[in-house]
Structure 1
């Protein structure tokens, strides 16, 4: 898991979530927070990775994993763009129809998730306007949509005052 030192001077230790430490390495290839005794660094792993990333003696270049083909990167980027466009389309559909559907002024979209057969969106509407606005009564509604963004149904999840700071249970 641990990585060997690179020419960029980055610490070779791994963080608790398995990512490489982003700090600059001091002496010994570690940052001020990590060292050889750190639980995220294993001597056996370091030694095996040292051998696998040794430099090519003929060219002096580091032997690295082959990079993905350019076509593979473009396809991945295109897929990501399509997913983002689909999500933005669903967001716009929910935003434009939530107020009319629920019968109260639209306030915001707080969640959109893909479902087995479409999308689920959680929106907030103003059920009762108050002064000051921290006393507005906000209703949270779940709107179910099919793959094409056609509304299939909705239901109220809860109500709260805009100024409340309590955490919500995850939408099921």
Structure 2
């Protein structure tokens, strides 16, 4: 049996797939991918999402989701790793 060659997908394409998947699964509006990292068997993408819109928008609740895709760009898993208010920054000691 011949071994299948992995598709040649760019980080940009993988990021776009992760954004699409998070939108479909959560119904929330993604702000963008904050990281796209290749792994031995696929990709891990972090996506920032508006969890809860508030007035004023500076008080919106945001979330960071970790999305795991295989080499073909198929979703394997996702999970929310952090929830925070807009403008909170990374001053929480670097912890998620």
TM-score (ref. length: structure 1): 0.47
Unaligned 5+ runs, structure 1: 1-82
* 1:91 pairs with one of 5, 12, 15: 15
Higher Rg of the two aligned structures:
1
Unaligned 5+ runs, structure 2: 1-7
Q: CA deviation at 1:165?
A: 2.1
Q: CA deviation at 1:169?
A: 3.5
What is the CA–CA distance in structure 1 between the aligned matches of 2:40 and 2:55, rounded to whole Å?
Answer: 41
Q: CA deviation at 1:95?
A: 2.1
- Measured against aligned partners, the alpha-carbon deviations of 1:51-71 in whole angstroms (never above 9, x if no partner) come to xxxxxxxxxxxxxxxxxxxxx
Looking at secondary structure, tell me which structure has more helix per residue: 1
User: CA RMSD for the aligned pairs?
Assistant: 1.8
Please state if 1:161 is matched with 2:85.
Answer: yes
- 1:128 — aligned with what? 52
Q: CA deviation at 1:134?
A: 1.3
TM-score (ref. length: structure 2): 0.80
What is the CA–CA distance in structure 2 between the aligned matches of 1:162 and 1:91, rounded to whole Å?
Answer: 22
RCO higher in structure (CA 8 A, sep ≥6): 2
What is the CA–CA distance in structure 1 between the aligned matches of 2:26 and 2:40, rounded to whole Å?
Answer: 24
What is the CA–CA distance in structure 1 between the aligned matches of 2:33 and 2:70, rounded to whole Å?
Answer: 17
Q: Which runs of 4+ in 1 moved over 3 A?
A: 167-170
Looking at secondary structure, tell me which structure has more strand per residue: 2
Question: What is the DSSP-based 3-state SS (H/G/I as helix, E as strand, rest coil) of the residue aligned with 1:131?
Answer: coil
Q: CA deviation at 1:117?
A: 0.8
Q: How many residues align?
A: 87
- 1:58 — aligned with what? none
